Amino acid sequence: MTDGCSRGVVPGYLLAKLAQSERFPKAAAAARQTLVAGRPPFRARIDLSIDESGALVAELTDAPNRTVSDAANTDRLPGLIVREEDDPPVDDETGNEAFDGLGATFDLLLAAFRRNSLNDAGAPLDATVHYGVDYDNAFWDGTRMVFGDGDGEVFAGFTRSVSVIGHELGHGVIQHTANLEYRNQPGALNESIADVLGTLTEQFLNGQTAEEATWLIGEGIFTDAVQGQALRSMIAPGTAYDDDELGKDPQPAHMRDFVSTTEDSGGVHINSGIPNRAFALAARALGGHAWERAGLAWYRALTGELGTTAKFADFAAATITAAATVDADTERAVRAAWAEVGVIDA
């Protein structure tokens, strides 16, 4: 398996389990195929308004530059362009979902963190849909989002989840900032921060408070045949699914249950549950919108002096320092959250 495939939103261990399924024969074949396949300009918007004198006022603000392409069920990227920024919706709902998800992520980054796209310099947001045949994953390949259609038995499609789109584009933000190594604890932080950006994108789009949010990553991508809600639960790691065929969600919620493994690039999709829960706990303790305080602390830590090999304790310290620049309550909530998951002492 290529390193690229290991960064897909669906963990390799879950695909490997699915590949052995007798209950889902089509999905098993799709999972085997997915595992073998791996994964290989500034724009502005003008807002018009009328001032008190009745004059027309034009305000220039950052805006996304989106392009969606169709791989037509091949593994050739980028595929044929089917929708660009100024185009109306197309007949293909998958392409429209991808386009809207790219925009939702851009809006979250700009409104919450004043970040102009993934690189903070207006980078285009590109996506390819209908990648491969029954391809059971979605991934960031370093330059674009790529979506498989799923197998139809276990995975229903990946563009329907805004948290998945925000997660994968989150890897692009990480790539342009701390660029955390994708293995062991730095890799688990990479996955966790991508989950944070994924859930914040979904919450921002829906106008949800931390209490109203589901804290699920990938809700809606499983078919009804699967006993599970999503790929991961940030507030309750280890509870996202418990299926007779797929097994139980293996994520730990506390450092005492940290999983030492050589699989999954050292458990990047598994142990990310620990920092995930820390973020969700901090956000819920603070209340209101998660991107305004806890999210700001996480973003400032990510874009500060964080090293590429940062471990959980390093990131905890960075977020606590960043939280202090927000306000005292945020610092206390962030510190308490990291203590509750066992990363720092209470």
Residue 17: its pLDDT value, please? 84
Closest Cα to residue 148, out of 161, 134, 160, 167?
134
Q: Where are the domains of the chain?
A: 3-340
- Catalytic residue (one of 168, 202, 219, 331): 168
Instruction: Annotate 275-340 with DSSP letters as a single string.
Output: HHHHHHHHHHHH-S-TTTTHHHHHHHHHTTT--TT--HHHHHHHHHHHHHTT-HHHHHHHHHHHHH
> Pick the residue with more confidence: 102 or 10?
102
Query: Torsion-angle region of residue 12: left (phi > 0), alpha (psi -120 to 50) or beta?
Result: alpha
Residue 16 pLDDT grade (very low, low, confident, very high; cuts 50, 70, 90)? confident
**The two three-digit tokens of residue 54, written as one number:** 């009745």
What is the distance between the alpha carbons of residues 232 and 18, in angstroms, rounded to a whole number? Answer: 16
pLDDT of 4 strictly over 50: no
Q: Is 168 a catalytic residue?
A: yes
Residue 139: its pLDDT value, please? 93
Reported as a single tens digit per residue, the pLDDT across 73-83 is: 999 999 999 99
Topology classification of domain 3-340: Neutral Protease; domain 2 (1.10.390)
- Catalytic residue (one of 130, 167, 171, 269): 269
pLDDT of 58 strictly over 60: no
Closest Cα to residue 113, out of 196, 34, 39?
196
What is the distance between the alpha carbons of residues 37 and 31, in angstroms, rounded to a whole number? Answer: 10
Residue 232: its pLDDT value, please? 98
Reported as a single tens digit per residue, the pLDDT across 223-258 is: 999 999 999 999 999 999 999 999 999 999 999 999
What is the distance between the alpha carbons of residues 182 and 171, in angstroms, rounded to a whole number? Answer: 10
Residue 12: its pLDDT value, please? 83
Reported as a single tens digit per residue, the pLDDT across 145-175 is: 999 999 999 999 999 999 999 999 999 999 9
Q: Is 269 a catalytic residue?
A: yes
pLDDT of 59 strictly over 60: no
What is the distance between the alpha carbons of residues 77 and 164, in angstroms, rounded to a whole number? Answer: 20
Residue 55 pLDDT grade (very low, low, confident, very high; cuts 50, 70, 90)? low
Work out the angle between the directed axes of helices 162-175 and 93-113 (0-180°, nearest 10): 50
